[in-house]
């Protein structure tokens, strides 16, 4: 019987592989050539009629330029708590001097900070902010109404509005980024400062934003390298992996489509989000678990996340799926720095229920080992890069259709720094973040941290869980799951 199922699976994979190859040769290539001609005409018209435009939004930046409006749905918000009170003018001075020391071509790594984007003839274009002023972007926290915070403000006050800040609207005449100072931020019983950095994802990826923070602060931000997908290959291994791309991509897509695991409320999600942030966890605990069970550090983090999801679903009274299909965002090797989007996407099946926490950890490790051998990541990279040449409506169809196959959550890991960091003599005491969900996704998980203290951040669509309490407890549950794994030996 097992042999029969193996043969059946191979036949299905080969059929999907055949469809991918035929669709690429017969459909995709001719369509791409036609669109390239139209794109060239659009570029010509832009040069003639819209001199304020500054080129296409293409490559992986284009993945987040799907719907032009003042609404914000794909943002990254990074919150850094600094010791003491830091003057606003010091922040402005450092940004201006370190990101834009001159207007020469050699100093344009951050030029998107002076651009917004718009639609022209169906394509996304960069548009220069002709009235750019740092004071519009770097200011004291000034949101009102539902986004208002008290003065002084503590962590709980701010986390209650973070989900709304992630989606706060932009002025589309200005570049979609801001750095907000929160004075009198209560942390560890003292009044400190918090800097809130909010950037629309179209300007760059998370690692670009962290690189920008390093440039502004002048701090080293020493971090370990992520091991997932970082294995070095010989030239012939790379050729073999590339040639295997259609088969591995077909296998990965089949895994997504055939998975029957999903959240009960996945099909009717609201856009409003809840943010849950875990208490800081000592990196030493994760390393202790990693070394004892002989797994990767990344596997430990995802085992804790999966365990937290199981606990929250149980509290919510929902049927707990056996697995969840999760897309994982990773930086590409040799990330160029500056503001850009260069990342890899892998899609894995993460076990949620049906075994002990230790069994789940070992299964996640096995799944990660399998995906590291797969060349599906090459296929997804090709799809994301090539789709950047398409008009917005086609790109929207491609991206949403890909996510709609069965991907239910997304995770992005930012490594935790290994030493204290400072900005103008003020120690950075803590870091947490919020990353908005994309398309049909209901759960976005990100990790970050300072000075060997890891933080897990959850962005949850408001009605993914029946009760807000279950969603808000995800942060607490992830620490409980790590403590459970740490006490298992």
Copy the structure tokens of residue 201: 């994802």
Together in a domain, 207 and 310: no
Range of the domain at 175: 55-217
Please say which residue of 160, 183, 217 terminates a domain. Answer: 217
Residue holding tokens 């639609």?
119
Determine how β-strand 123-128 pairs with β-strand 453-461: unpaired
Q: Any idea what DSSP says for residue 31?
A: H
Between residues 459 and 21, which one has the greater pLDDT? 459
Exposure string for 278-295, b = 16+ CB within 10 A, e = fewer: bebbebebbebbbeebeb
Determine how β-strand 153-154 pairs with β-strand 177-187: parallel
Together in a domain, 213 and 239: no
Together in a domain, 175 and 213: yes
Together in a domain, 398 and 466: yes
Report the candidate in 450, 458, 456 with the shortest Cα–Cα distance to residue 214: 450
Residue 97's CATH number = 3.30.559.10
**pLDDT for the residue 458:** 96
Together in a domain, 156 and 111: yes
**pLDDT for the residue 193:** 96
Q: 219: exposed, middle or buried (C-beta count within 10 Å: 0-12, 13-18, 19+)?
A: middle
Query: Where is average pLDDT lowest: 67-81, 197-211, 415-429?
Result: 67-81
Say if residues 183 and 195 touch (Cβ distance below 8 Å).
Answer: no
Is the pLDDT confidence value at 333 over 50? yes
State the Cα–Cα distance between residues 383 and 481, nearest whole angstrom: 36
- Total domains in the chain come to 2
**pLDDT for the residue 386:** 84
**pLDDT for the residue 259:** 79
Summarize the confidence of residues 25-44 as an average pLDDT: 89
Confirm whether 265 is domain-assigned: yes
Confirm whether 41 is domain-assigned: no
Is the pLDDT confidence value at 261 over 70? no
Confirm whether 7 is domain-assigned: no
Angle at 367 between CA 16 and CA 204, to 5 degrees: 80
Together in a domain, 133 and 193: yes
Residue 260's CATH number = 3.30.559.30
Query: Where is average pLDDT lowest: 55-64, 140-149, 279-288?
Result: 55-64
Confirm whether 47 is domain-assigned: no
- Name the band, by pLDDT with cuts 50, 70 and 90, for residue 148: very high
Together in a domain, 274 and 406: yes
Please say which residue of 217, 243, 276 terminates a domain. Answer: 217
pLDDT in tens, 229-255: 556 777 777 788 888 998 998 888 888
Query: Where is average pLDDT lowest: 58-62, 152-156, 457-461?
Result: 58-62
Q: Could you tell me which residues come within 8 angstroms of residue 416 by beta carbon, excluding any fewer than 6 positions away?
A: 223, 283, 447, 448, 449, 450, 451, 452, 453, 454, 455
Strands (E), 231-358: 273-277, 281-282, 323-331, 343-351
pLDDT in tens, 151-187: 999 999 999 999 999 988 898 889 999 999 999 999 9
Together in a domain, 196 and 241: no
Is the pLDDT confidence value at 478 over 90? yes
Together in a domain, 253 and 131: no
Copy the structure tokens of residue 294: 């002989």
Q: 426: exposed, middle or buried (C-beta count within 10 Å: 0-12, 13-18, 19+)?
A: buried
pLDDT in tens, 209-230: 888 888 899 888 887 766 555 5
Is the pLDDT confidence value at 68 over 60? no
């Amino acid at each position: 019987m097992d042999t029969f199922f193996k043969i059946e699976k191979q036949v299905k994979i080969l059929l999907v592989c055949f469809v991918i190859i035929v669709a690429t040769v017969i459909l995709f290539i001719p369509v791409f050539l036609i669109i390239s001609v139209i794109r060239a005409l659009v570029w010509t018209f832009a040069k003639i009629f819209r001199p304020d435009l500054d080129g296409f939004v293409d490559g992986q930046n284009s993945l987040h330029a799907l719907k032009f409006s003042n609404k914000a749905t794909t943002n990254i918000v990074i919150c850094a708590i600094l010791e003491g009170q830091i003057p606003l003018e010091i922040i402005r001075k450092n940004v201006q001097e370190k990101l834009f020391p001159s207007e020469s071509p050699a100093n344009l790594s951050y030029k998107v900070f002076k651009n917004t984007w718009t639609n022209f003839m169906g394509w996304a274009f960069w548009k220069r902010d002709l009235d750019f002023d740092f004071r519009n972007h770097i200011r004291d926290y000034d949101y009102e109404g539902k986004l208002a915070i008290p003065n002084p403000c503590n962590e709980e006050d701010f986390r209650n509005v973070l989900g709304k800040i992630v989606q706060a609207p932009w002025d589309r005449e200005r570049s979609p980024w801001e750095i907000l100072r929160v004075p009198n931020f209560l942390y560890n019983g003292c009044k400190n400062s918090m800097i809130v950095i909010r950037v629309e994802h179209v300007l760059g990826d998370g690692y670009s934003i962290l690189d920008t923070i390093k440039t502004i602060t002048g701090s080293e931000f020493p971090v370990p390298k992520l091991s997932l997908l970082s294995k070095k290959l010989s030239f012939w291994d790379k050729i073999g992996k590339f040639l295997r791309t259609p088969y591995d991509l077909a296998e990965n897509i089949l895994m997504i489509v055939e998975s029957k695991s999903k959240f009960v409320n996945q099909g009717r999600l609201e856009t409003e989000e809840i943010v849950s942030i875990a208490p800081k966890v000592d990196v030493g605990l994760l390393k202790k678990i990693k070394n004892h069970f002989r797994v990767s550090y990344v596997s430990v983090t995802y085992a804790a996340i999966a365990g937290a999801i199981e606990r929250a679903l149980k509290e919510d009274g929902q049927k707990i799926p056996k697995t969840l299909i999760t897309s994982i965002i990773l930086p590409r090797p040799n990330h160029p720095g500056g503001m850009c989007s260069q990342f890899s996407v892998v899609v894995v099946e993460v076990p949620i229920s049906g075994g002990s926490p230790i069994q789940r950890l070992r299964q996640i490790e096995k799944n990660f080992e399998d995906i590291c051998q797969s060349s599906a990541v090459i296929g997804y990279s090709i799809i994301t890069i090539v789709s950047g040449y398409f008009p917005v409506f086609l790109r929207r169809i491609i991206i949403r259709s890909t996510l709609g196959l069965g991907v239910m959550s997304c995770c992005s890991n930012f490594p935790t720094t290994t030493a204290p960091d400072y900005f103008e003599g003020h120690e950075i005491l803590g870091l947490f973040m919020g990353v908005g969900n994309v398309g049909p996704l209901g759960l976005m998980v990100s990790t970050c941290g300072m000075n060997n203290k890891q933080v897990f951040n959850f962005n949850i669509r408001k009605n993914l869980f029946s009760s807000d309490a279950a969603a808000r407890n995800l942060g607490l549950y992830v620490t409980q799951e790590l403590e459970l794994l740490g006490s298992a030996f």
